[in-house]
């Protein structure tokens, strides 16, 4: 027995001498491993966060650059603007858009397309664009991104001659709940619906509620006609049942940069602005709640939808922009002389300034002053908001009351120094322009027409 006890003790000692340190070692190394893994995970998370921040920063920088470029309206890209107005959520497909767009807009491609040959090259380009958009679809994590990527893909398909596939995608966009339920989807829905409405056979099958929505937007277009830079060519607006409006329809161009709205600047946000014509008895004369119900939206959604649509209406890349961007031959010598007068002797840039050619402020230029009284007080004492001059040849007649029919009349009006009245803006005075200078100024104003686009795509 004692022998066995000794053996047991030996075994115990052995276990203690070897096992315990082993156990401790194992425990220690396990802890170290865990710590290391924790560290590695933390490092990875940090890395991811940094990368995400980098990517985000990169995208934001690019977006900002494009936005600035758009503000300079060298190449105003409504996609960027819509993305901007709607926040980060659209950045991803926008990125793909530039890849896909680059594939489509490659100069060799354009040349080939113009020559109407080299089929193979053409279809390869569309495939490249399509692939970029498909990748974007795969990565989309917000319904708006999906709609956006689908829309771009559909456009590439349509341009590549795959009309049926494109129509199918347009209908998918319209069928998504987003189309009518979320303001992010509205510009896409409008664009898709317009493409389908162009093709009556397909239009029949299109969702009725969305078509209703498009019609609501088109009702805006009965005064803001896209063919006339979103004006109506009349002296004063004509509303529902032919009711006479009090003022001239202003161009809705580059309003994304607007700081106040209406001729008298009485409204400060587009969201608020777009509901006003619906209710105005002289315009659409429809309760806002009723209009919203018609398209199955809340009033808030309707106002945001219309506002984001209005924000997508842009004009840029005029000959004046190209000149300002360094293309010296974009303006003729006479037009260049006109530009000199515009910013010099004519003093026009005192108010028509910056890329939108308006300071967004109210001024009394005397237009409302007739027979020694103000016919319209405007924003007070006969002041009215400086309108944009983009697309100006297409927005006649001019001024809040449509009282001047031609650009020549406008220049003559300023040459006189406006209508003298007690509240006249100090920046106005007789200009004493020669007939040649007047012609040059008008010639310059005509260079402010550019490419107008609406909806989430050019
Ligand atoms: C009956 C014609 C008519 C209809 C319909 C109409 N508008 Fe207007 N719109 C006008 C007139 C006139 C003004 C200027 C009114 C004023 O300044 O008092 C105006 C002003 C605006 C402005 C302000 C532009 C600026 O720079 O100040 C926006 C934006 C606008 N409308 C958008 C819309 C939208 C969106 C709709 C559809 C919901 C719409 N309009 C329907 C006639 C119309
Ligand atoms: C003091 C500020 C001011 C100056 C300076 C000025 N404008 Fe204006 N401009 C306005 C305002 C405000 C209106 C709208 C007035 C109204 O409708 O009653 C306007 C309207 C116009 C319109 C009509 C646009 C439209 O869509 O109806 C044209 C064109 C125009 N200006 C060109 C010029 C030119 C060219 C010059 C230089 C010779 C000039 N403006 C100088 C403030 C100014």
* pLDDT score of 7: 80
Q: Which ligand is nearest to the CA of 395?
A: 2
- Integer Cα distance of 232 and 222 in angstroms: 7
pLDDT in tens, 422-434: 999 999 999 999 9
- Integer Cα distance of 227 and 397 in angstroms: 15
Q: Tell me how far the alpha carbon of residue 328 lies from the centroid of ligand 1, in angstroms.
A: 37
Which residues 6+ apart lie within 8 Å of 360 measured at CB?
258, 259, 260, 265, 385, 386
Res. 380: pLDDT tops 80 = yes
Give 360's Cβ-side CA count (13 Å radius): 14
Tell me what percent of the residues of the chain surpass a pLDDT of 70.
62
Phi, psi (degrees; rounded to nearest 5) at 405: -80, -30
pTM of the predicted model as reported, rounded to 2 decimal places: 0.67
- Atom 22 of ligand 1, nearest CA residue: 262
| Segments making up each domain of the chain, as ranges | 44-160, 316-452
| Class of the CATH-defined domain 316-452 | mainly alpha
- Integer Cα distance of 241 and 402 in angstroms: 21
Atom of ligand 1 nearest to the CA of 282: 1
- Other residues' Cβ atoms within 10 Å of the Cβ of residue 347: 16
- Integer Cα distance of 253 and 46 in angstroms: 44
Q: Give me the chain's average pLDDT, please.
A: 74
Res. 65: pLDDT tops 60 = no
* Contact predicate 235/397, CB 8 Å: yes
Q: Which residues pair with 384 in a beta bridge?
A: 363
Strand, coil or helix: 384:
strand
Least confident of 119-123, 138-142, 278-282: 119-123
- Integer Cα distance of 17 and 7 in angstroms: 15
* Contact predicate 397/405, CB 8 Å: yes
Average confidence (pLDDT) over 164-179: 72
3-state helix, strand, coil in the chain (%, to 5): 60, 5, 35
Strand, coil or helix: 382:
coil
Q: Please give all residues whose beta carbon lies within 6 A of any atom in ligand 2, as ranges.
A: 346-348, 350-352, 363, 365, 367, 384, 386-387, 389, 392, 395, 398-400, 410-411, 414, 425, 427-428, 441
Q: For residue 360, what are its two tokens?
A: 């967004």
pLDDT in tens, 218-264: 567 778 888 888 898 999 987 655 667 889 999 998 888 888 899 99
Q: Tell me how far the alpha carbon of residue 350 lies from the centroid of ligand 2, in angstroms.
A: 10
Pocket test for ligand 2, best of 387, 409, 419 (most atoms within 8 A of CB): 387
pLDDT in tens, 189-216: 666 766 766 665 555 555 555 555 555 5
Res. 293: pLDDT tops 90 = no
* Contact predicate 441/433, CB 8 Å: yes
Q: Tell me how far the alpha carbon of residue 370 lies from the centroid of ligand 1, in angstroms.
A: 25
- Residue 160 C-alpha from the chain's centroid: 25
- Integer Cα distance of 90 and 112 in angstroms: 32
């Amino acid at each position: 027995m004692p022998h066995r006890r000794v053996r047991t003790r030996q075994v115990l000692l052995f276990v203690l001498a070897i096992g315990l340190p082993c156990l401790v070692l194992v425990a220690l190394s396990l802890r170290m491993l865990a710590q290391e893994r924790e560290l590695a995970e933390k490092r990875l998370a940090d890395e991811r966060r940094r990368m995400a921040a980098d990517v985000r920063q990169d995208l934001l920088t690019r977006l900002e650059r494009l936005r600035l470029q758009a503000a300079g309206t060298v190449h105003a890209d409504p996609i960027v603007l819509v993305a901007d107005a709607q926040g980060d959520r659209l950045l991803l497909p926008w990125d793909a858009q530039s890849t896909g767009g680059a594939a489509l807009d490659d100069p060799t491609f354009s040349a080939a397309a113009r020559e109407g040959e080299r089929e193979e090259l053409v279809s390869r380009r569309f495939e490249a664009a399509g692939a970029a958009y498909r990748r974007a679809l795969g990565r989309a994590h917000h319904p708006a991104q999906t709609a956006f990527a689908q829309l771009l893909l559909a456009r590439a398909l349509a341009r590549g001659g795959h009309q049926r596939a494109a129509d199918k995608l347009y209908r998918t966009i319209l069928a998504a709940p987003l189309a009518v339920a979320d303001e992010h989807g509205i510009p896409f829905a409008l664009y898709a619906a317009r493409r389908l409405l162009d093709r009556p056979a397909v239009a029949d099958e299109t969702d009725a509620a969305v078509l209703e929505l498009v019609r609501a937007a088109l009702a805006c277009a009965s005064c803001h006609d896209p063919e006339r830079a979103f004006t109506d060519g009349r002296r004063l607006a004509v509303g529902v049942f032919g009711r006479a409006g009090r003022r001239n329809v202003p161009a809705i161009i580059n309003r994304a940069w607007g700081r106040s709205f209406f001729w008298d600047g009485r409204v400060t946000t587009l969201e608020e602005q777009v509901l006003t014509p619906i209710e105005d008895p002289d315009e659409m004369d429809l309760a806002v709640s009723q209009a919203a119900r018609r398209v199955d939206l809340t009033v808030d959604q309707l106002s945001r939808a219309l506002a984001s649509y209005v924000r997508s209406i842009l004009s840029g890349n005029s000959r004046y922009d190209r000149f300002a961007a360094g293309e010296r031959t974009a303006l003729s010598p006479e037009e260049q002389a006109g530009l000199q007068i515009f910013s010099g002797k004519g003093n026009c840039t005192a108010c028509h300034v910056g890329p939108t050619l308006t300071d967004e402020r109210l001024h009394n230029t005397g237009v409302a002053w007739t027979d020694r009284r103000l016919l319209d007080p405007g924003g007070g004492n006969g002041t009215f908001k400086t309108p944009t001059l983009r697309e100006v040849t297409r927005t006649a007649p001019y001024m809040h009351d449509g009282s001047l029919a031609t650009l020549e009349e406008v220049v003559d009006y300023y040459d006189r120094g406006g209508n003298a009245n007690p509240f006249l803006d100090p920046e106005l005075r007789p200009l004493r322009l020669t007939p040649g200078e007047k012609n040059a100024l008008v010639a310059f104003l005509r260079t402010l027409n550019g490419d107008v686009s609406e909806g989430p795509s050019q």
